[in-house]
Amino acid sequence: MSTSDIDKIRVLLPHWLEHNQSHRVEFGRWAEVARGAGLAEVAELIGQAMARMAEVDGLLTHALEKAGGKVAGHDHHHH
């Protein structure tokens, strides 16, 4: 694996983490909508999905640490 591939991983991982965070927030809003509509089971399933996403984020964070952390000076946002 080339240095540029490793740098790309170090750029992608923070992006994926940020992307997942925005989805978790949205999932939380929709879980509340489902709960308010009397769909407790749907809300629970969305909550379980949120918990699994948090587990994924833990793995991605660990991968980022093992890869050497974020690339310095590369803080781009495109949401």
- The set of residues, in sequence order, having a beta carbon less than 8 Å from that of 22 and lying 6+ positions away, is 79
pLDDT tens digits, one per residue of 46-73: 999 999 999 999 999 999 999 999 998 7
Banded model confidence at residue 75, pLDDT cuts 50, 70, 90: low
d(CA 33, CA 36): 5
pLDDT tens digits, one per residue of 12-58: 999 999 999 999 999 999 999 999 999 999 999 999 999 999 999 99
Task: Say whether 10 sits in a helix, a strand or coil.
Answer: helix
